[in-house]
Structures are given as C-alpha cells and as structure tokens.
Amino acid sequence: MRPRRFWPVPLAALALIAGCEEPKNVGAKRPPKDNFIVGKRTQDIGKLDRQELVKQGGIEASTKITAKDPITLQGNAYVTIIGRTSAMQIEHALNLYRATNDRYPANYDEFMTEIIKANNIALPQLPHYQKYFYDEKEHKLVVIEYPASKDQPLPQ
C-alpha cells in the first residue's frame, strides 16, 4: 500500500495562517526619540536652594529600588542606580580635590569649574521629573525629584 501524501494540505494551511495576520502597531504613536534617556549624558547641575526647592515641590530622590510590579522594576532600578553612581563619582572627585587643596570647593561656581569641567564629568541623563543639584553645605551631589511632574506628559 502506498502512503498518502498530505503535504499540500499543511502547506496551504501555513500559507493561510501567515497571510491572515494583521499588521501590528499600525498608526501607533511612538514616543519621541529625544525622551529616550538611556546612554545620554549631561553636565546640567543646578545650585541647591532648599527654600526654592520646597516652593517648587521638589524632594530628595530615594536611593532605594522600588516598584509595584515586575514590568516597571527594571526602569526604576536603572534610574536609581545611575543616581547612586553619579553621586559616588562626584564624591570621589570632591575627595581628590579636598586631598589636593585641603578644602572643598568654596561655592557652586568653583565646583562646576574645578570638579565637573576640569574632570570632564558627564552624568547620566535623568528622567524628566528629576534633576541634579550640588549641595554647597554638604559638598555632595543630590538628585531632586518633582513628584508632580511624573504625572505630566513628557516634554516634546
């Protein structure tokens, strides 16, 4: 007895299945590429003014990795870790400056000139609701978060 050849039937079924799929994400809007912060660097560091900070609703960002679900965990971990490493990089440069000069930078302008620009430090870009600031009294870099900006749409 000769075996039956059913190969045209599965081949036709595969062709139909592959051809029936609708294009995905047609017309879906993608976020602008300018809002993608991974890999971007900045030297934009503000001078910390605690009174102005309170008026604007800013708070010091937490250095703990927190997330309510496994989907957002990686993004939150990335943002938290770059904040920590940035602070450690600045702390190291400040310690070297103090060891060399027997003092910390006298003010914000000296910090920017002698620490950031002299060492060509470029910090990782933060999300739109966070910003780097230099605390002159504590001689450290802090990341300030503006919770009200989290809910606002991303700047275009």
Mean pLDDT value across residues 111-126:
87
Average pLDDT of the residues of the chain: 75
The pTM of the full predicted model, rounded to 2 decimals, is 0.63
Give the chain's count of helices (H) and strands (E): 5, 6
Looking at residue 33, the DSSP 8-state letter turns out to be: G
In the numeric block, which tokens belong to residue 39?
């890999």
Burial code (b: 16+ CB inside 10 Å, e: under 16) for 103-132 equals ebbeebeebbebbbeeeebebbbbbebbbb
Q: What pLDDT, on the 0 to 100 scale, is given for residue 93?
A: 92
More confident residue, 104 or 2: 104
More confident residue, 124 or 103: 103
Q: Which distant-in-sequence residues (6+ apart) come within 8 Å of 42 by Cβ?
A: 122, 123, 124, 125, 126, 132
More confident residue, 40 or 45: 45
Residue whose token pair is 């275009």: 156
Q: What pLDDT, on the 0 to 100 scale, is given for residue 31?
A: 46
Q: What pLDDT, on the 0 to 100 scale, is given for residue 30?
A: 46
